[in-house]
Structure 1
Amino acid sequence: MTKQGPRWLDEGEMRAWRNYVVGASMLADRLHRELQDGHEVSLADYEVLVRLSERTGLRMRMSQLADEVASSKSRVSHQVARMEKEGLLRRRECPEDGRGVFAELTEKGMEVLAGSAPTHVEGVRTHMIDLLSRDEQELVAKVFDRVISHLRGLSG
């Protein structure tokens, strides 16, 4: 049995891949810079604040938070510890499970989120959403639903 070589990308596939890599990086950098300049909050911290704000009780398990922001448990633990020192959130033990820990949004965290959300939403609209038709938005959503499902299936 002969070993097959890699399935190299053709010109169109390479263009799609490279445009995604460069575009996603530039978009994240721009959104981060706008949040930093306007509100002294990073894009990563903003995403944590948003996820917590969407939950009943403004809290969620640390492991679930790591999954939702596509980060390692260790990285999120360090991030949450730093954000806790800044007064944006607090860690609480899970009453049902002595080993579980919740990250919980504080009043200061809600204030930072409320102040920075308009800047972030305007940036997302200006730098991506408004550049796409409704059909293109739906296509992007479907493509990344598929990519996310595939990658989550590999890690499970």
Structure 2
Amino acid sequence: MTEAREPIASPREWALWTSFFPMEAELWQWLSRRLRDDADLSEADWQVLDALGNTPDHALRAFELAARISFSKSRLHQHAGRMIARGLLHQNPAAEDGRGTVLGLTPEGLAHFRQAQIHRARHIREALVEVLTTEELDTLIDISTKIRRNLGHLGDAATPS
């Protein structure tokens, strides 16, 4: 005898799965390609530059930077080493205790970040802003915030501020 089973997902859930998730992946692939082509940066480079470029002294202790961009300590250490070799970052012992490491933007890194901001803003406009109405953008912002807040409650991501 064959046992009747409930569907794994409703038609609406499958519609979400087959529209939203591929779009999200394609969007990030497109944004990543454009950032690489226009600013010679990877998404990981951008995350580091964006986090440091938006702090008062353009520097953070390594553990704070890793937490802010959701990198493991080893991933940040390896990636920062490559960015230091490219002249985008500098590394110094923490002044407070000498045990920790502070990563900061070099003048070249800050200039590269500022130029990349221009490209990233244009890319976002091309991919999202120009194709959606003002109301759709507001709805997308509301939905994104709601999902992120829910993930924070589930323990999978930081709750947005």
Query: TM (normalized to structure 1)?
Result: 0.82
1:143 alignment partner in structure 2: 147
CA RMSD of aligned residues (A): 2.4
Structure 1 distance, partners of 2:81, 2:117, is 22
Q: Which has the larger radius of gyration?
A: 2
Question: How many residues were matched structurally?
Answer: 149
Deviations 1:93-145 (A, max 9, x none): 11213321111011000111111211111111221344233133222222123
Deviations 1:23-75 (A, max 9, x none): 22211111111111112111220121011011121111212212222222211
Query: TM (normalized to structure 2)?
Result: 0.80
The structure in which a higher percent of residues are helix is 1
Aligned counterparts, 1:2-151, within 5 A: 8-130=8-130, 131=132, 132-150=136-154, 151=156
Structure 1: gaps of 5 or more residues: 1-6
In structure 2, do the counterparts of structure 1 residues 149 and 88 end up closer, same or farther at CA, with 3 Å as the change threshold? farther
Identity %: 24
Structure 2: gaps of 5 or more residues: 1-6
Secondary structure of residue in 2 paired with 1:29:
helix
Cα drift, residue 15 of structure 1: 3.1
Structure 1 distance, partners of 2:116, 2:26, is 20
Q: Which runs of 4+ in 1 moved over 6 A?
A: none
